Structure formats: structure tokens, C-alpha cells
């Protein structure tokens, strides 16, 4: 991968992550389909790159008052365990099977976001 392609993917992933879209959802397919990465390598690279992006985005949300520390403290321990288990599983699954599972996950999440009302609509309904 050339430096310009890497820089463009990095900027795109950063902007999308900051918006809460999850740039990795888009960068992983680009790395696999157009740049020849294996599914496992693409996912690992994006996850590693995501660490500083997530920290910066969380800081910006904290500054704007949209970060809920209590929720983060409750979710963090189990998320760490889940991430470790997911990484172990990803290394044991055939790359084509992992790619298929990842694609199906993206389709399911896209359909869910399309069909289910957004968070603002549900937040307004709370007392």
C-alpha cells in the first residue's frame, strides 16, 4: 500500500470514527477487496489503528458532555474479555468464512439501522 493510499484511508477512518460511524467497517473491506489483505490482517490493522482514534473521539465527546462515564465503566471490563475472545476466534476461523461472517454482520447492522428508529427518537421518548 502506497503512502497516499494509507494516508487517505487513515483520514477517512478517522473522520468516520469521529462521527461514530466506525471507519473500520468501511476500511476493512477496502483493505481486503482492493489491497489484497487477508481478512484477519485487515481487521487486526484497523483495530490497532482504532485505539488512538477511539481515545480522541471519546475525549471530544467528554468535552461536549455526550460521554457517559458510568456506562463506559460498566461496559469496559466485559468488552475487554469479548475483544480477546473475538481475536482468538478470528485467528481460528478460515479467512473466507470470516469474510462472509463480517459481510453478513455489516448487512444485518445496515438493515437494523435502516428499520429501527434512531437513538434521538428513542431518547426523546424517555421520561
The domain segmentation of the chain, as residue ranges, is: 3-125
The predicted-structure confidence for 47-78, as pLDDT tens digits, reads as follows 888 888 788 888 988 899 988 889 989 999 99
Region 74-85: mean pLDDT is 92
Return the C-alpha cell found at 47: 483495530
On whether the CB atoms of residues 39 and 32 are closer than 8 A, the answer is yes
Mean pLDDT for all residues in the chain: 82
Q: Tell me what pLDDT residue 64 has.
A: 92
Q: Write the CB contacts of 10 (distance below 8 Å, at least 6 apart in sequence).
A: 49
The predicted-structure confidence for 4-29, as pLDDT tens digits, reads as follows 887 887 787 777 766 766 667 778 88
Return the C-alpha cell found at 25: 467497517
Residue 36 has pLDDT above 60, yes or no: yes
For residue 119, name the pLDDT band (cuts at 50, 70, 90). Answer: low
Instruction: Give the chain's radius of gyration (CA, Å).
Output: 16
Amino acid at each position: 500500500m502506497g503512502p497516499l493510499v494509507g494516508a487517505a484511508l487513515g483520514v477517512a477512518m478517522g473522520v468516520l470514527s469521529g462521527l461514530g460511524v466506525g471507519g473500520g467497517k468501511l476500511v476493512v473491506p477496502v483493505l481486503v477487496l482492493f489491497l489484497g489483505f487477508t481478512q484477519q490482517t485487515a481487521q487486526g490493522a484497523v483495530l490497532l489503528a482504532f485505539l488512538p482514534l477511539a481515545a480522541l473521539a471519546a475525549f471530544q465527546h467528554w468535552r461536549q458532555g455526550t460521554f457517559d462515564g458510568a456506562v463506559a465503566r460498566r461496559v469496559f471490563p466485559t468488552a475487554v474479555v469479548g475483544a480477546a475472545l473475538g481475536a482468538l476466534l478470528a485467528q481460528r476461523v478460515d479467512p473466507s468464512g470470516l469474510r462472509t461472517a463480517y459481510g453478513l454482520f455489516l448487512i444485518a447492522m445496515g438493515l437494523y439501522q435502516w428499520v429501527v428508529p434512531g437513538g434521538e427518537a428513542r431518547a426523546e421518548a424517555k421520561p
